Amino acid sequence: MSDRAGDRKILTLCAIMIFLQCFIYKRTDFAPTLDIGITITPDRLMFVILLVLAISKFARGELHFQGIGGVERYMIIFAIICTSSAFLVGGGSPVLYYLFDFIYNPFFVFVLTKSLPHSVAKIDLLLRSFLPLGAYLAINGIFEHFGPHALVWPKYILDPHIGVQFERTRGSFASSEALGLALILTFLCYALYVARATGLRRCFAWAILVTTPGVIYLTNQRSAWIGFGLCIVLLAVGKSPMRRAARLVVALSLLGFLLGVATHFSLWEGGTLFSKRQATVDYRVANNVTTWAMGIANPIFGVGFGNFWTAWPKYFQPVPGVPDLKDGNHNTFLGLFSEVGLVGLLPFLMICYQILRVAFRVYSRTEGFEREFCRISLLVMLSYLFGANFSDYRSGPFHNTALYILFGAVAAMAVPKVRQNALSPAPLPMLGPMTSDLALR
């Protein structure tokens, strides 16, 4: 098998794993799982397959580790701190899935994707791997809201006892917030794809592109709306081939707002969603005040990774209409501060900083398709960081894996060519303007 074919196989398996992370396996009969102290689900089984394949290729010299950069350095520190906290003073093995979904798996896919030599074909395959997922989520979301419900798959989506936010469109995640963030990612992939596609593929891509904002609206999720709005505005005002799609969405959204066709986002329906559902706002206020108090009382090491559930009553700050925090934590940053203190929060912030630092450097030195891929990766990061203020992404395997695989590909662009190809007779510039037959003009 050639190196390029082997790389394609790895990326394909990564895409399958990400797709499998869109589903709920516990307390459902969707797919078989294996309980051996930890629950082995199909997505985790795919992780094991990828890990074995990667180790095998490293051992045979077919895959080359690109060294430890700033991102990897802080991820290792972060992993050690959170794991030590979990097993020394925290929740122990019951919160192992948090560690896996939030740290171990993302770290692995980042290193793996960065180790694959950069090429236009590589990022093109990554982009295309999210397109079937976007079509599935959008079409399934329409069926979930409007029917026929017989076409909704999997059926646990229609079960009020599975997941959260049952009265909203929530997709295979059984969570409207998780579905909204996933749709932002797939929308951005389609926005880039339609600028390059032709013929019937372009027509189908436009159909999904126009449908996706409607399904994001149907999630009735304010954080998803704002995150999506930020991405659309930045695309609409920037010099990008995706500007046309963004401006179309802006125009349709304004038209719907003025005509009153959407009850939760209308000028004529007595206020938008932003002035409704005060109970969820109050809960997040109580959550943030409590986690802040928890962190201030334990600023260095926190109360222990995974101990929010047992510690919150001691630090609970009453807010009218919020009797408790049994719905869990809803802020990733404050959740980390309260559980692992500054020694855990600061490395996580440094991971985000290092990712953005590399991405902006690559963005400034590339053009065409590579530059646009960096652009959508940065927008995904923007929506992730915004949403992390309103949800705890430590239990979001899809979002963490998708984010780090995108930035693993971006980081590979920053690897000097001489390191990517040991046979090069002389070092090449670290990054120069890149063009190709797939470049956007």
Q: Which long-range contacts (CB under 8 A, 24 or more apart) does 364-367 make?
A: 365/431, 365/432, 365/433, 366/413, 366/431, 366/433, 366/434, 367/433, 367/434, 367/435, 367/439
CB-based contacts of 229, cutoff 8 Å, min separation 6: none
The reported pLDDT for the residue numbered 35 is 77
For residues 221 and 180, is the Cβ–Cβ distance under 8 A?
yes
Counting beta carbons within 10 angstroms of the beta carbon of residue 26, is it exposed (0 to 12), middle (13 to 18) or buried (19 or more)?
exposed
Q: Which residue ranges of the chain lie beneath pLDDT 50?
A: 1-2, 268, 418, 422-441
Could you tell me how many helices (H) and strands (E) the chain has, helices first? Answer: 17, 2
317 assigned to some structural domain = no
* Domain carrying residue 10: 3-280+325-420
Cα gap 86→90, rounded to integer Å: 4
Exposure b/e, 258-285, CB count within 10 A at least 16 = b: eeeebebbbeeeeebbeeeeeeeeebbe
The reported pLDDT for the residue numbered 430 is 40
306 assigned to some structural domain = no
Cα gap 38→374, rounded to integer Å: 36
Cα gap 326→319, rounded to integer Å: 14
3-state SS assignment for residue 394: helix
3-state SS assignment for residue 35: strand
The reported pLDDT for the residue numbered 261 is 53
The reported pLDDT for the residue numbered 251 is 86
296 assigned to some structural domain = no
| Number of domains comprising the chain | 1
Q: Average pLDDT, whole number, for the chain?
A: 88
Cα gap 421→419, rounded to integer Å: 5
Task: Tell me the whole-structure pTM to 2 decimals.
Answer: 0.90
431 assigned to some structural domain = no
Nearest to 85 by CA among 396, 398, 345: 345
The reported pLDDT for the residue numbered 427 is 38
309 assigned to some structural domain = no
* Peptide bond preceding 148 in cis form (omega within 30 of 0): yes
206 assigned to some structural domain = yes
292 assigned to some structural domain = no
47 assigned to some structural domain = yes
Rounded to 5 degrees, φ, ψ at 39 are -85, 120
